[in-house]
Structure 1
Amino acid sequence: MALDPVVVCLGEALIDRLGPPGGNPAVDLPVDDRLGGAPANVACGLARLGTPVAFAGRLGQDAIGEAFVSLFAERGVETTLLQRDAERPSRIVLVRRSSDGERQFQGFAGDDGAGFADQALEPLSLPPARWLLIGSLPLAAPTSASALLSAVRQARRQGTAIALDVNWRPTFWDATSDPAAGPSAAAQATMQPLLDQAALIKLAREEALWLFNSADPGAIRQALPQRPDVVVTDGAAPVRWCLSAQTGEQEAFKPPTVVDTTGAGDAFTAGLLHRWAAPPHERIRFAAACGALVCGGAGGIDPQPTQAQVEVFLGRVS
């Protein structure tokens, strides 16, 4: 690896197959296939903002995998830790969109019986980094769960801080589950070691309520042994945060236009890590602007802003 990254983003890279607004992406046309997956989104968002970043994950030896290789090269994302799988395909997620741009993950396409490449992630040798950004989805399959937990142990030994975006998606754990269902007791138990080791935890409000019975980031901080920084997002409602033992709220910025909210939370996470050296309220404000700007285009990666675009936007709303 030529240059050690500031952030390593570990997890899934996949296709978000966006159905027509109000339609079913499994049967209705036209569909809009977009490169996505939360860790891949964050990696691309960080690279566009100017933070050195590496992506660690596993893709099929297929057209989707090649598209990601091209995308990462274009954005400047380090790919030494990218694995390719000759047996299993890259994952396609079916995304149902409402007429106002909200989305729901309803299932998958492309599996030919062997599962998806991201489920077969093998153990990695991590470079030194400031952050290891992870989510909960690799825990849904035994092989990728083992690789994720191994990476967390490595990071802890190396002094790399863990940033956890819970990113609960029930269909990854059980393809037949209700897309709106919360985590089972077993899933919560599987996630607990990550919650207990993360230096930064980002949750959606409903995830906070499921896991902690509270959407108060200060209360969540106190509930965990390591006293992590905590950010709770809530769509268009204010972001609540507890960073460096300071607490606050940030009003959500109104996007110039709303085409698709896919990837808004990932753009927020990228902005937060990119601006981590700033005072807490400035980190959150910058991150909120990143999330708002992504809503103006389709998919979670193409509309991601540069730092200059974020600064222009913040200048207009201040």
Structure 2
Amino acid sequence: MPSSTLPPQVLCLGEALVDRLGPLGGDPATELPWDDHLGGAPANVACALARLGTPCAFVGRLGRDGIGQEFAKLFAERGVDTRALQWDGTRPSRIVLVRRDADGDRQFGGFAGDRGDGFADQALDPSALSAALGPLLATARWLLVGTIPLASPAAAAALKLVCRQAAAAGMPLALDVNWRPTFWDPAADPASGPTRAQIDAIAPLLQQASLIKCAAEEARWLFGSDDPAVVCAALPQHPNVVVTDGGAPLRWCFAGRSGELQAFRVPVVDTTGAGDAFTAGLLHGLLLDQVQGASAIQPEALLRFASACGALVCQGAGAINPQPSAEAVQYFLARQA
């Protein structure tokens, strides 16, 4: 059955936006040519899950503009449930300016399109979510969030509401830290870490999460160490933790076991969205284990599948178009043996 006809298994809450990719080594604010690609971490994860065959829903807010129309079309094509998608008639959908170096690695460098009232994703309305959330919470098995909604008061209130209701329903939380300082302060250095106040705002998500994915530098900012076992031990619920580090081996701590996995070596066009494809692959695998009644997680196979999802996305432009099917991932993995 198409994923759109099945109850969502993952709720992905947060931003849907356009990544404006500048020319390699150039400035997307002033230099041509640029490439516009639909993105935003939770939207990327939702689309990647649907492509892998896991039914999911997107919870967020878009402007009634061309970008919003493109997302509506994309979500319909992928089979993403949009019952909790809100529409804003005043604020536009956000455009993020993405600088790329000669190797394809990216850095977020500000926004375009603001007409003075901010962007639609900042205005996610918690009061309008209640009616849509009930049926979704009744069927979903995971809630996936990042930290970006915490940067805006309305979106932060909506995020906290959904997290509370998910906890009440016994639904585990997956947190991709995805620290982006320019969403908190457009003038911030894109390479800067969170302030003490920002860490305090993020802390409740860390303390609720059953699964945490973070970059090595994010782990060092938040926990003083990039060792996933240290992160796991620092939190009362002892979550499963994955720490990524670009092309270096990713490290993990699952159920008290630790290990690492070498990155796949592939030709890189653009790394935007690779981490989101990884997150989708991770959740897809965890849900398969639940459906198949696996008695224990097998981290090595799970993370290898997720890493392959990210590697395949690196070989195309943008976060969503290169996302693979489960069959494409298995074919890639078979060729690595």
TM-score, scaled relative to structure 1: 0.98
What is residue 78 of structure 2 aligned with on the other side? 75
* Alignment partners' CA distance in 1, 2:59 and 2:256: 31
Q: Which amino acid in the other structure matches residue 195 of structure 2? A: S
Identify unmatched segments of 5+ residues in structure 2. Answer: 290-296
* Secondary structure of residue in 1 paired with 2:271: coil
Moved more, 261-270 or 3-12: 3-12
* Alignment partners' CA distance in 2, 1:244 and 1:70: 40
Matched ranges for 1:95-114 at <5 A? 95-114=98-117
| 1:199 aligns to 2:210 (yes or no) | yes
* Secondary structure of residue in 2 paired with 1:108: strand
Deviations 1:211-253 (A, max 9, x none): 0011111111010011111000000000100112221101001
* Alignment partners' CA distance in 1, 2:86 and 2:256: 38
Aligned partner (choices 22, 25, 31) of residue 25 of structure 2: 22
Matched ranges for 1:13-52 at <5 A? 13-52=16-55
Identify unmatched segments of 5+ residues in structure 1. Answer: none
Indicate the RMSD between aligned Cα atoms, in angstroms: 1.0
| 1:313 aligns to 2:324 (yes or no) | no
TM-score, scaled relative to structure 2: 0.93
* Alignment partners' CA distance in 2, 1:58 and 1:93: 16
Q: Which amino acid in the other structure matches residue 26 of structure 1? A: A
| 1:92 aligns to 2:95 (yes or no) | yes
1:103 is displaced (CA, Å) by 0.3
Deviations 1:86-135 (A, max 9, x none): 01000000000001100000000000000000000012232221100000
* Secondary structure of residue in 1 paired with 2:259: strand
Moved more, 148-157 or 3-12: 3-12
What is residue 270 of structure 1 aligned with on the other side? 280
Deviations 1:59-111 (A, max 9, x none): 00000000000000011111111100001000000000001100000000000
* Secondary structure of residue in 1 paired with 2:193: coil
| 1:183 aligns to 2:194 (yes or no) | yes
1:2 is displaced (CA, Å) by 6.1
1:281 is displaced (CA, Å) by 1.1
Contact 1:244 1:280 in 2 (8 A): no
Aligned partner (choices 272, 294, 308) of residue 313 of structure 2: 294
What is residue 117 of structure 1 aligned with on the other side? 120
* Secondary structure of residue in 1 paired with 2:11: strand
Detail structure 1 runs of 4+ shifted over 2 Å in the superposition.
Answer: 1-4
Moved more, 157-166 or 123-132: 123-132
